[in-house]
Amino acid sequence: MYFLQMARLFYKNGASLPPSKFTDEQVARGLVPRPHTSMKKKGNFLSKLFDEGHLIWLFIIPSTIMLALFALPLFALFVRSFEAGFFNYAFSEQAFKALKLSLLTSTITTGVTILFGTTLGYMLARWKFRLRSWIELLIDLPIVLPPSVAGLVLLMAFGRRGIFGQELSALGISLPFTTAAVIIAQMFVAAPFYIRSARIGFRTIDRQLEEAANVEGANQWQVFTEVMIPLAGSALISGAILTWTRALGEFGATILFAGNLEGVTQTMPMAIYLGFERNLGVALALSVMLVVVSMLLLGLTRKFEKTEEHHNSID
């Protein structure tokens, strides 16, 4: 608490340091008491451990334990997958079908989300209207919902016996256990990442730029397409990558709403789940592929974020 109070005092006073009660001569002769000299020393080990030069281990040790929690399981996955014959299972027919369907559905999900979610993110960021905070809450809700709840929500709404299922059936539309159901489930859980990123990106743009475009005669759509989208481009790209990554790994909502039919609704996470019962090698190979793709996409996201920070620092 002492150091917190002194740090706050120093921050409040700006560059002026708080007055010291020790003279320069006392400091030079080493007569200034150190923080731990008032405590009774319990051996050389403790005194060295809490010495200023060894305090770094109080940060390294817990951080290493936490890092190992993430790194060791991934390391074990890669080792076991290559021991089981990675390439044989990775190029199997089941793995190829699951990979093809996952790439197709996640790409469609991302494209539709960009098409409809960009304008929504812009409205939430720049327009002022009633219930805006409630709409933001509604959009962000699927991010924290358990996947099983998300799947049940979709089933109760668009299932054959759902609230809107009978109306869809009258029109000849049946969504459950189809590829379209996979896309809807992916959009429900992944689209909020893009909308949230778009909202943050549009909100950080200076309103004077928007007003300057209006003064030059641009209408609202021209301001949106020619000013706002280019300026929020990095945020939009990062949100699209996160959406695609989340859609690629979606499992819980999909298995409840779309099922697990090979070649129809069996995406890579479904094939991994089925592999635990039938073929563990396929599950391991697909898991490694998902990890690698996710790492590449997250790396692209970090790159765009760093590029945006660099441009902001230059401006």
Say if 228 falls within a structural domain. yes
What percent helix, strand, coil does the chain show, rounded to 5? 75, 0, 25
Report the domain count for the chain: 1
Helix (H, G, I), strand (E, B) or coil at 177: coil
42 falls within a domain = no
The rounded distance, in Å, linking the Cα atoms of 227 and 271 is: 44
**Range of the structural domain that residue 291 is part of:** 86-314
Q: Which of 122-126, 145-149, 311-315 has the lowest mean pLDDT?
A: 311-315
Percent of the chain topping pLDDT 70: 80
Q: Domain for residue 71, yes or no?
A: no
Chain centre to alpha carbon of residue 182: 21
- Whether residue 27 is contained in a domain is answered as no
Please determine, for residue 32, whether its predicted confidence score (pLDDT) is greater than 60: no
303 vs 60: CA distance, rounded Å: 26
Q: Which of 242, 129, 250, 255 is nearest to 192 (CA)?
A: 242
Q: 234 in a domain, yes or no?
A: yes
Residue 241 has pLDDT above 50, yes or no: yes
pLDDT at residue 40 tops 60 = no
pLDDT of residue 50: 56
Kindly state whether residue 66 falls inside one of the protein's structural domains: no
Residue 35 lies in a domain: no
**Tens-digit pLDDT profile for residues 127-144:** 988 899 999 999 999 999
CB-CB contact of 259 with 304 (8 Å):
no
**pTM attached to this predicted model:** 0.78
Give the distance, in angstroms, between the CA of residue 46 and the centroid of all CA atoms in the same chain. 41
Flag whether 246 is in a domain: yes
CATH of the domain at 284: 1.10.3720.10
Taking all residues of the chain, what is their mean pLDDT, rounded to a whole number?
A: 83
